[in-house]
Amino acid sequence: MLRPFIILVLLMLAWPAHAVDVVFPAGSRVGLAPPPGVTPSRGFFGFEDGPNNVAIVLGALPPEAYDELARSTSATALKQRGLTFEKREELTLAAGKGFLVIARQEVEHMKLRKWIVAVAASEFTALVTVQVPDAAGEAYPEAAIRAALSSVTVRSTVPVEEQLTLLPFTVGELAKFRVGGVMAGRAIILTDSATDALGPGLDPHLVVAIAPGGPAQVTDRDNFARDVFASIPNLRDVRLTSSEPLRIGGQQGHQIMARGKDNRTSDDVTVVQWLRFGGGAYLHMVGVARTDAWVPAYARFRQVRDSIDLR
């Protein structure tokens, strides 16, 4: 009678220690307990040991990617990509069902072993790829790699504060917008939409991105701003209502106001584009809202705009 209870208690005591070991790279919905020797990478979601050319890459893909990954990791498909199939195993992890494929590859005269794990999580497909050169095999034995892969864990969301750390600029005021997406090192989308799924109508949204370059001469900025504005997608029947220089955050900038229609919903929309120049790059900010909801949305767009600073 007591033995099952004792085993259950031991399992409960062991679980927190394992959970603490799981590390989620900043911005990643996939994490694991990395093997000794690797550290979080600054170049991708995952971990690496640069001197030994060891890499653990984590990714979150659409749910339908699971079946495609199963097909693309067959022995035949791997051979077409220059890999030699070694073995395949089915997995059952806390995050969901999955599979492990082990293969070998030679890249620029470096022989290495690869582990590929795909997991069908509830909201997405988790993909983990491990690369270990043969020369680093003693430092990274198969048992250590398997232990790391068995700890693959997913989280439903990434904290907003963590997402914001991935940007080359700070956003001090979200003005009650929800973070709809972050492109690490480049851009953020703020929206009033409750979810990432497209609804029947158009919700106010603001995109803030940074790009290298920008005209050095003030006289060139109006044409530059118009060219950048012309690249904004999902708009039609656009009519510019103003285009003028504007100081933003104490720096030289430019503002364009326009009206048009949203391509998807055909709603009448008003659009503002702000460019802020300086430091060999420029901030590109685009706010879009239905014309009948423009006044309060524009005030919030300005709140966000005025709170942004480069890191």
What average pLDDT score do residues 184-190 get? 93
Cα gap 299→289, rounded to integer Å:
11
Q: What angle do CA 4, 7, 13 make, to 5 degrees?
A: 145
- On the question of pLDDT at 176 being above 70, the answer is yes
Flag whether pLDDT at 291 surpasses 80: yes
What mean pLDDT comes out for the span 131-150? Answer: 96
Q: Which domains does the chain have, with CATH numbers?
A: 24-154 (3.40.1000.10), 160-310 (3.40.1000.10)
Average pLDDT, the chain: 91
**Region of poorest pLDDT, from 3-12, 27-36, 299-308:** 3-12
pLDDT at 197: 67
- Whole-angstrom Cα distance, residue 214 to residue 94? 49
Confidence (pLDDT) at 12: 35
**Three-state SS at 24:** coil
Token pair belonging to 246: 């504007």
pTM beyond cutoff 0.85: no
Q: What is the pLDDT of residue 280?
A: 87
Residue 254 burial by Cβ neighbours in a 10 Å radius (0-12, 13-18, 19+): buried
pLDDT in tens, 215-260: 988 999 999 999 999 999 999 999 999 999 999 988 999 999 999 9
Q: What is the percentage of the chain residues whose pLDDT exceeds 70? A: 92
Q: Roughly how many angstroms between the first and final C-alpha of the chain, as a whole number?
A: 61
Identify which has the larger pLDDT, 295 or 184.
295
Euclidean distance between CA atoms 289 and 207, whole angstroms: 12
pLDDT number for residue 8:
35
pLDDT value at 58 more than 70: yes
Instruction: Give the pLDDT confidence of 12-32 residue by residue, as tens digits.
Output: 333 333 444 899 999 999 999
Q: What is the rounded CA–CA span in Å between residue 288 and residue 298?
A: 9
The pLDDT confidence band at residue 1, using thresholds 50, 70 and 90, is very low
Looking at per-residue pLDDT, the higher value among 17 and 293 belongs to 293
pLDDT tens readout for residues 111-138 = 999 999 999 999 999 999 999 999 999 9
Classify residue 124 by burial, with Cβ atoms within 10 Å: 0-12, 13-18, 19+.
Answer: buried
Task: Please tell me the distance from the alpha carbon of residue 62 to that of residue 44, in angstroms, as a whole number.
Answer: 18
Single-letter amino acid code for the residue at 39: T
Residue 215: its pLDDT value, please? 92
d(Cα 117, Cα 130) in Å, to the nearest integer?
A: 9
Q: What whole-number distance in Å separates Cα of residue 273 and Cα of residue 238?
A: 13
Among 15-24, 27-36, 76-85, 268-277, the range scoring the smallest mean pLDDT is: 15-24
Residue 10, pLDDT above cutoff 80: no
